[in-house]
Amino acid sequence: MSDATQVDKFVYNFVMEDVLKGLFIHVPPGYVACVYDLGRGVLKKVLLPGLHLKIPFWQRAKLFNVQTLEYGISHEFNPQHEFALGDVPISAATQDGQHVLIEGTILLRLDINYVPQIWQTIGEDFVQKIVRPTIQSRVRMIASRYSLQDIVSNRRDVVEMAIKNELVEIFTERGIIVENVLLSEIHKVKPPAEKND
């Protein structure tokens, strides 16, 4: 292959891969895109599903999932994946002094109108910065207001609603919509001090 042919191939690849592909943003269903512009920062306009144009080298697009997401709290969650959506069972103390591990599912989604603000102020790792610590804190706080019997059977729906209301109050202003809180398993465990005996 001659030097001229190699140069032509390099130029062709550059134009096809870096310039033409850099012109377009493909946003699939269930997602929106935010654009970071080198001159203006994160743009406030959200790009909805479809094909959009952007300025190659000057603008960068980031896709965000705006579908309903399951935040699973269970033993199956791997805490080594800190960016994953979920958590290990949450330990809490009930009003009557019982220690429990709480498992369940919280249904969340991003508010389309807040996505640029989330990217600008929190970043892509909003799950580990905001979602996980808030859920842990609020589940523990609500569990401390009810007896073990209330949480396990009698008033489980009231406990779920109380957790949801607490999360809605905190997450709404941050652009995260809480759709539902579903508790699945509550296990009574020994208090931390008794585990070493």
Q: What is the mean pLDDT of residues 65-75?
A: 94
pTM metric for this prediction: 0.79
Domain chopping of the chain, boundaries: 3-65, 69-196
Residues 10, 183: Cα–Cα separation, whole Å: 57
Average pLDDT over residues 9-27: 62
CATH, domain range 69-196: 3.30.479.30
Mean pLDDT of the chain: 86
Residue 103 pLDDT: 95
What is the full DSSP assignment across 103-167?
A: EEEEEEEE-GGGHHHHHHHT-TTHIIIIIHHHHHHHHHHHHTTS-HHIIIIITHHHHHHHHHHHH
Q: So what's the pLDDT on residue 122? A: 87
Instruction: Identify the band that residue 20 occupies on the pLDDT scale cut at 50, 70 and 90.
Output: low
* 81 burial via Cβ count (<10 Å: 0-12, 13-18, 19+): exposed
**Using one digit for the tens of pLDDT, what is the confidence trace for 155-174?**
888 999 999 999 999 999 99
Query: Where does residue 56 rank: exposed (0-12), middle (13-18), buried (19+ CB within 10 A)?
Result: middle
DSSP state, residue 47: B
Confidence check: pLDDT of 82 > 80: no
| Residue 36, strand partner residues | 42, 60
Is residue 48 pLDDT above 90, yes or no?
Answer: yes
pLDDT at 16: 44
- Residue 6 has what pLDDT? 63
Helix, strand, coil distribution of the chain in percent, nearest 5: 40, 30, 30
Q: What percent of the chain has pLDDT over 90?
A: 59
